[in-house]
Amino acid sequence: MSLSQKDTHLLLRLGFLPYGWAAERLKELGREAFVEEQLHPERIAEDPEAERRLGRMRLLEMTPRELARVENGDGRAYYRLLQRYLVLHTRSRRRLAARLEAFWVHHFYVPAESAGAWLADYHQTLAARSLGSFRELLFAVARHPAMLVYLNNDTNVAGHPNENYARELLELHTLGVDGGYSERDVKEAARALTGWTTHPRTEGGFYFDPDDHDDGPKRVLGHDLPAGRGIEDGLQLLDLAARHPATARFVSRKLALWFVGDDPPASLIKRLAGVFQREHGRIRPVLRELFSAPEFYASAGRRLRTPLEFLAAAMEATDAWFTDEWRLLDTLNRLGQPFLGWKTPDGYPTQAAAWSGTSGLLARWQVALELTQEADGDPDGGRGVLVHLERRLPQAATAGDWVAATARRVWGREPAGKQRADLIDYVSDGAGPGRTLTPALAGRKRGGLLALLLSAPEFQWI
């Protein structure tokens, strides 16, 4: 199936490879209707294999209290959460929802080791609100024990305020470091949030302790918070931060970084921020504007996949699945992006400079080789990873046609010039593009061809 450059670009940025169900659905609906459907994932009939695999992850639906009764519950939930990420990014038809959930996970970032038994619940909280309103997300995060404990707001009390969460609320979650707030705003925000803590017996784990709240008058972000109040101080603070114009600009820029790439045009950010404000922080209208923007379609090939995105895309291209937990964790460690392993609250970077070093690219090449090795006999060859290359490769009559069709599936375009000649030379054993592609030849060359395509710059940059 032939796709336009814009169609291919859209699929790649939404997290799909440009063939199969996604390509067919896009051709059927057109770009605007396809995006609209992706913005409403509940309308999409899920891939049966994705449903089957997700259905086996009941551990993620346990409450923290239930998880505490499971042997190594935290560790098992962490691994299931990683598996869930890979299912959503390799098989799910609701790919935009998966990409947006991952965006919010890194925007409101909490490392796995800090979230403990609340990790799965925290991710479910973000997932359930990822396409709703920013205000709703912000309020849910501010009450969640994972965030309260990670940034020490559970110890933020009158007379001894802890500013960690208040500072990151303004710097990382809402206005941004250049958002115009002052050090006094941070201190006053911390006072407004005193008493916001956790309790093991409350629903959701959140508890407001009026005895620990500073009920004196406050002034934050240009507004007075009168004396004598309780939880209302924190609620008003969150509302002010959510509605601030700097928040619209900051969140819009981060969305552009996530879906467009480094240094998104100021014209695009300005329009996205305008929609954000007019729509009171509702996410769907902002994304509609983004995915219809000329600047979005002009950014093809300018965004470097992160290591985790690379692994997911390579697994989809090879129909690979890790059967050994430690092999998967080791693979991500070697790629340089342990799952939820970033230590600071700003989350993993998305900019290319963070991931384009020589050691990281060499690790990608090695992983590409590992994911394209097929085992004889033993389904995973004792290697901890099961691959089915034949399920992902197109049919073709000649070596030249096979190279072109496979590259279209993996890269979204055909190779040209010397690159095309070299790939054909490898597949045809020097016989040229017209060599007949026999089953034996395809079986002998498919792993090497896919490894070359997955290692190429065209697969890293989308």
| pLDDT at position 69 over 90 | no
Query: E-assigned strands of 326-447?
Result: 385-386
How high is the pLDDT of residue 72? 83
CB 451 within 8 A of CB 372: yes
Q: What is the pTM of this model?
A: 0.96
The predicted model gives 71-81 an average pLDDT of: 90
Residues of 354-389 as b/e, b for ≥16 C-beta within 10 angstroms?
A: ebeeeebbebbeebbbbbbeeeeeeebeeebbbbeb
Q: Is 51 left (phi over 0), alpha (psi -120 to 50) or beta?
A: alpha
pLDDT in tens, 428-462: 999 999 999 999 999 999 999 999 999 999 999 99
Cα gap 106→125, rounded to integer Å = 14
CB–CB of 161/194 below 8 Å? yes
d(CA 119, CA 105): 11
Q: Do 125 and 16 reside in the same domain of the chain?
A: yes
User: How, if at all, do strands 223-225 and 206-208 pair?
Assistant: unpaired
| CA distances in angstroms from 193 to 143, 161, 324, 384, 443, listed in the order given | 10, 9, 44, 47, 63
- Which has the closest alpha carbon to 252: 290, 279, 291, 278? 290
Same domain, 145 and 26: yes
378 pLDDT above the threshold of 60: no
Least confident of 54-58, 63-67, 175-179, 346-350: 63-67
Last residue of a domain, one of 199, 215, 243: 243
Statement to judge: residues 13 and 140 lie in one domain: yes
User: Which tokens belong to 442?
Assistant: 């395809």
97/215 same-domain check: yes
Give dist(CA 226, CA 108) in Å, integer.
29
Residue 57, token pair as written in the block: 């992850």
Rounded to the nearest 10 degrees, the angle between the axes of helix 245-259 and helix 232-243 is 60
Contacts for 445 with CB less than 8 Å, ≥ 6 apart: 426, 427
The structural domain count of the chain equals 3
- Same structural domain, 84 and 196: yes
Could you tell me if 316 and 293 lie in one domain? Answer: no
Same domain, 318 and 432: yes
Q: How far apart are CA 383 and CA 450, in angstroms?
A: 19
| Residue 379 pLDDT | 56
**237 and 108 inside one domain:** yes
Q: What is the length of the chain? A: 462
Q: Got the DSSP string for 44-101?
A: SPPPHHHHHHHHT-GGGGS-HHHHHTSTTHHHHHHHHHHHHHHHHHHT-S-HHHHHHH
pLDDT per residue as tens digits for the range 405-434: 999 999 999 999 999 999 999 999 999 999
Return d(Cα 104, Cα 134) in angstroms, integer: 10
pLDDT tens, position by position, 13-36: 999 999 999 999 999 999 999 999
CA-to-CA distance for 231 and 197, rounded, in angstroms?
11
Same domain? 48 vs 131:
yes
Reply yes or no on whether the pLDDT at 380 is more than 60. Answer: no
Q: Which domain holds residue 270?
A: 245-297
Max CA pair span of the chain: 85
For 122, the 3-state DSSP assignment is helix
Asked if residue 218 and residue 354 are part of one domain, the reply reads no
Written as six digits, the tokens of 154 are: 């559970």
Give the pLDDT band (50/70/90) at residue 377: very low
- 237 and 250, same domain (yes or no): no
Is pLDDT at 214 greater than 50 in this prediction?
yes
Q: Which of helix, strand or coil describes residue 110?
A: coil
Q: Is residue 190 domain-shared with residue 293, that is, in the same domain?
A: no
pLDDT at 303: 98
Helix (H) or strand (E) holding 288: helix 283-291
